[in-house]
Structure 1
Amino acid sequence: MNEALPATRRPGIRAAMFVDFDNVFTGLQAIDPLAAKRFAEDPKHWADALSAGGSGGGTRRFLIRNCYLNPMVYSKYRPYWTRAGFRVIDCPSLTQRGKSSTDINLVLDAMDALSGSVGIEEFFIASADADFTSLIQRFRAADRMTTVIAAGAVAFAYREMADHVVESHDFVSILTGSTAEPVRALAPVNQRQVPAQAKAKTKAMPPGVREVLEFVRTAPGPVVGAMVAHRALAADPSLKTDWGGYGKFGTWVSQIGKDVEYSAAQGGWVWDAKRFSSEDLPASVETQPGIEEQVARVTDVPALSAAQFRQIFLAMAARLREHPANRTELSRQVRDDCVSAGEPVSRNAVSFVLQGLGYANFQLTDEATAAELAAAWTRYVEELCRVALLEFDAGEQLAVRRWASGGLLDK
């Protein structure tokens, strides 16, 4: 199972897709019902987008396409998947609580594929269920590429174990056709060691890199990573899919070189190494003392400041008054508004808040106020703390409430 993969017999990365239908469908319904319908009724559309990946050797061939669903609830979607070339595995509820056999069936099939003679190079797991973290670890230990497709909040350990995560807003964009960029294939095993310098000689400096260099070199000090990411995406929209194949902004900006340094501390900072160092970072980014740090670390709630949460709610309420957009577009607009207001946040952070509002059954209408948004989000954060068995005294509970609400509930 751990032997080196043989030379590719046909062009394209040999890939396997394992879809936890129930998890993805319910997650999408909370984010964008139209995208959920497209996912369930037109799997060929998004599967082809993932197959396209990139150009030439960057394309994928899905040798295995498995879909695991509960036939008692979702049997009406079976014909769409079989017609799209998926093998549909029935996973009915086996317990009184409705727990299905999806997890064990998916894991067994994935391990069979890993140990098979074909030599699968990239594994796709379409599920936000952190129970699959151990499976991703096995893929990683066998030197296989892994991609997680998430339609909901993703546990930190699960996210970090994968080579690439297709975030919910990116997946919704693929489903709705609002992005022309496919999810690019990661480099095959036999192409991973190509020196970056050799590639640089064959092409001009990308516009995103050029924008970052100009911005960072003229900045009066270290710059918040979210602001640098915003400038890079504005200059080169193609980066929004998977950051040029690097998966994350931090990985992408770190490989630029040219004296551009990056630190992941407190959401990320970028600076010009010729003029500054890590010692020039604001002291507040080195640590985030208090109860907020514990909540963010245990529940995966974005580690933002109260001011940043406040700005998210203010920007979201203003956008909703203009026109209630779908959640994918709204996350982009709110991210941009926060950057413009001087409280930069990542799009992933905004998407996490939107998902929390969905789980709290809050309706995003043009009548929603910033305080109402803050109240619904705070209830969701408090529920996450309860599920995580975090115990707080009255003072700590108040601190969590003030932090999560951005101070909008202090009345």
Structure 2
Amino acid sequence: MPEISTIRAALFVDFDNIFLNFHNQDQDLAKAFATRPERWLKWLVESKLPLPGNGVDRRILIRRCYLNPSSFGDFRPYFTKAAFEVIDCPPLTSRGKTSTDVHMVMDILETLHHYPSIDEFIVLSGDADFTPVLIKLRKHDRRTSVLAVGYASPAYKASADHVFDLDDFISTGIGFVEIEAAQDVPAADVKTQTSLIDRMASRVLEVVSESGPVQAADLPKIFREFKEFGRDTNWLGFGTLRRLSQELVNCREGLVLLDEDPWKIGLQGPPVADVTVIEQPVGSSEVTPDNRQRIEEFIVETVRSSPVPVVLAKMAHLLGMRFGSGLTESQWFGSGSFKSLLGQLNLPGIEMSSLLPGFLYDPSVHPAPEEKMDSLQVKIHNITDTPLLPTEHYQILFRCLANEVNANGYSLSRTSKAVRDCCAEEGATVARSHVNFVLLGLGHVRYRFQQGQVEAATLSQKFYENVLNLCRSSQISLSDEDTASVKEWITGNQ
């Protein structure tokens, strides 16, 4: 089969769906999306395709935007300027229901049958009504990519070959990045802390070298090994855990702050002494049977020789050190993620646990990682994507969210980052995707943040209501006892 060099794509934008979901979270974000289509269109074109091979380009040959001219006609010129065909979908009912879905489905099917050269269909909408058409496109061997803003059913996302990362779309695509206010640390204070920071950095380097990347939530445990450090130190004058961690990274060669979800401190540069680097590292696009086999053998040997299940993040880190940066630069051989690559490898006897933070283990060597959640919570998570967090972490999340909004107001990008870091400071492993899920869920039950008036108890109650709505829409039948269990899980109250 000849190597693919160009993907020909057709783009269909459900403007009302994307704009309104953004608007519910941040008015400026919605406006940026509506007035900068040429910017995020360029991002779509330049986004790395999760396909094997080098030099695969995306050409968007068909660009169509569907909007309600009564409400959003002012944004038409921006899309016209970006060479979109703008299709008017005026309201047809007194409740404002438009024909966008019908128009989009008809145009997608028409494109499928009349433009056989189109390889990929890109749909910007979180509406689950498009699930059947995505399945039909797959039957016709067409690639599908979607961007879902707000809650999108797992079935909708599973029907697509690729789901664009929402944070990446917002920050890189739209270019909506809120600059975090810098906090100056008095020079005298920094100077007096130099010795302590140096010792803390050395200790972090030691832990990372032995056990792999350390998540943000686990860093305070390391810091508290030093008697000079305490909760009342204001993170040694740096204000936040992240700023202090960045200072540790800056003063110790070999450490790097990994801006993942959640963020971590890991190693950079030369690997640790007990890991041998292969002389011929895996290239950025090589997917040969030989290097695939070497990776498989390395994973199996590492897991079986480990006394405990291996955390996925640690395994990814070890692979990067052993085989070179080509793995991550190629987005794991075009798989898009390390988890996706694992699903394609032959790893005899090795099991993967989806329990956070994710593990690889050999059942003949290791006991299966313990399930810390009851079966109902796991079921709800698997079907609705509700974060599988323990109750105490939910309580920390809601408390951090209330404090952040009351102190600084609400803005989707800034708030989600601040709450994630606040949870880490309190020892809760909460990813930014978890925070975003909660924020979007609160929007779906029409909760509106008002600075100075946000209470954690109210947030937990509203999000609990959203979880019940997700269960109903996903046809999860809950008894009275189940409902009480869900309430206790989310709010901590029966």
Pairwise TM-score range, normalised by the shorter structure: 0.7 to 0.9
How far did 1:362 drift?
3.3
Most deviating of 326-335 and 156-165: 326-335
For the residues of structure 1 that align with 2:20 and 2:315, how far apart are their CA atoms? 34
For the residues of structure 2 that align with 1:395 and 1:75, how far apart are their CA atoms? 49
Paired position in structure 1 for 2:25: 31
Paired position in structure 1 for 2:68: 70
For 1:271, the aligned partner's letter is L
The alignment's TM-score, normalised by the length of structure 2, stands at 0.63
Question: After superposition, where does 1:353-372 map in structure 2 within 5 Å?
Answer: 353-360=438-445, 361-363=447-449, 365=451, 368-372=454-458
Paired position in structure 1 for 2:38: 44
Unaligned runs of 5+ in 1: 180-193
Residue 123 (structure 1) aligned with residue 86 (structure 2)? no
**Which whole-Å deviations, capped at 9, do the CAs of 1:270-323 have from their partners, x for residues lacking one?**
2365xx6685222426x8423x34544554423333233233224434554664
Residue 263 (structure 1) aligned with residue 352 (structure 2)? yes
Match of 2:429 among 344, 365, 369: 344
Decide whether aligned partners of structure 1 residues 177 and 66 sit closer, same or farther in structure 2, where only a CA change above 3 A counts.
Answer: same
Match of 1:289 among 349, 356, 375: 375
How far did 1:349 drift?
2.5
How far did 1:160 drift?
1.1
How far did 1:38 drift?
1.1
For the residues of structure 2 that align with 1:20 and 1:240, how far apart are their CA atoms? 32
Contact 1:152 1:168 (8 Å CA) reproduced: no
For the residues of structure 2 that align with 1:78 and 1:374, how far apart are their CA atoms? 39
Contact 1:223 1:271 (8 Å CA) reproduced: yes
For 1:281, the aligned partner's letter is A
For 1:175, the aligned partner's letter is I
For 2:92, the aligned partner's letter is L
For the residues of structure 2 that align with 1:396 and 1:59, how far apart are their CA atoms? 49
Contact 1:260 1:271 (8 Å CA) reproduced: no
Residue aligned with 2:371, SS: helix
How far did 1:398 drift?
2.1
Question: After superposition, where does 1:174-185 map in structure 2 within 5 Å?
Answer: 174-178=173-177
Decide whether aligned partners of structure 1 residues 151 and 257 sit closer, same or farther in structure 2, where only a CA change above 3 A counts.
Answer: same
Decide whether aligned partners of structure 1 residues 248 and 195 sit closer, same or farther in structure 2, where only a CA change above 3 A counts.
Answer: closer
Residue aligned with 2:55, SS: helix
Paired position in structure 1 for 2:259: none
What is the number of equivalent residue pairs in this alignment? 374
**Which whole-Å deviations, capped at 9, do the CAs of 1:342-387 have from their partners, x for residues lacking one?**
5434433322111112233231746634333322312322343455
How far did 1:267 drift?
5.1
Residue 305 (structure 1) aligned with residue 396 (structure 2)? no
Residue 380 (structure 1) aligned with residue 461 (structure 2)? no
Residue 148 (structure 1) aligned with residue 142 (structure 2)? no
Contact 2:19 2:33 (8 Å CA) reproduced: yes
Residue aligned with 2:87, SS: strand
Paired position in structure 2 for 1:400: 486
For 2:288, the aligned partner's letter is Q
The alignment's TM-score, normalised by the length of structure 1, stands at 0.75
For 2:465, the aligned partner's letter is R
Contact 2:352 2:361 (8 Å CA) reproduced: no
Decide whether aligned partners of structure 1 residues 322 and 107 sit closer, same or farther in structure 2, where only a CA change above 3 A counts.
Answer: same
For 1:251, the aligned partner's letter is S
Match of 1:326 among 411, 425, 434: 411
How far did 1:19 drift?
0.4
Identity between Structure 1 and Structure 2 (%): 34
Contact 1:227 1:339 (8 Å CA) reproduced: no
Most deviating of 377-386 and 143-152: 377-386
Larger radius of gyration: 2
Most deviating of 139-148 and 222-231: 222-231
Decide whether aligned partners of structure 1 residues 317 and 216 sit closer, same or farther in structure 2, where only a CA change above 3 A counts.
Answer: farther
How far did 1:175 drift?
1.3
Unaligned runs of 5+ in 2: 179-284
Residue 196 (structure 1) aligned with residue 287 (structure 2)? yes
For 2:335, the aligned partner's letter is Y
How far did 1:100 drift?
1.3
For 1:116, the aligned partner's letter is H
For 1:34, the aligned partner's letter is D
How far did 1:159 drift?
0.8
For the residues of structure 1 that align with 2:44 and 2:411, how far apart are their CA atoms? 23
For the residues of structure 2 that align with 1:151 and 1:380, how far apart are their CA atoms? 16
CA-atom RMSD in angstroms: 4.3
Decide whether aligned partners of structure 1 residues 379 and 116 sit closer, same or farther in structure 2, where only a CA change above 3 A counts.
Answer: same
For 2:359, the aligned partner's letter is V
For the residues of structure 1 that align with 2:364 and 2:411, how far apart are their CA atoms? 41
For 2:41, the aligned partner's letter is A
Residue aligned with 1:57, SS: coil
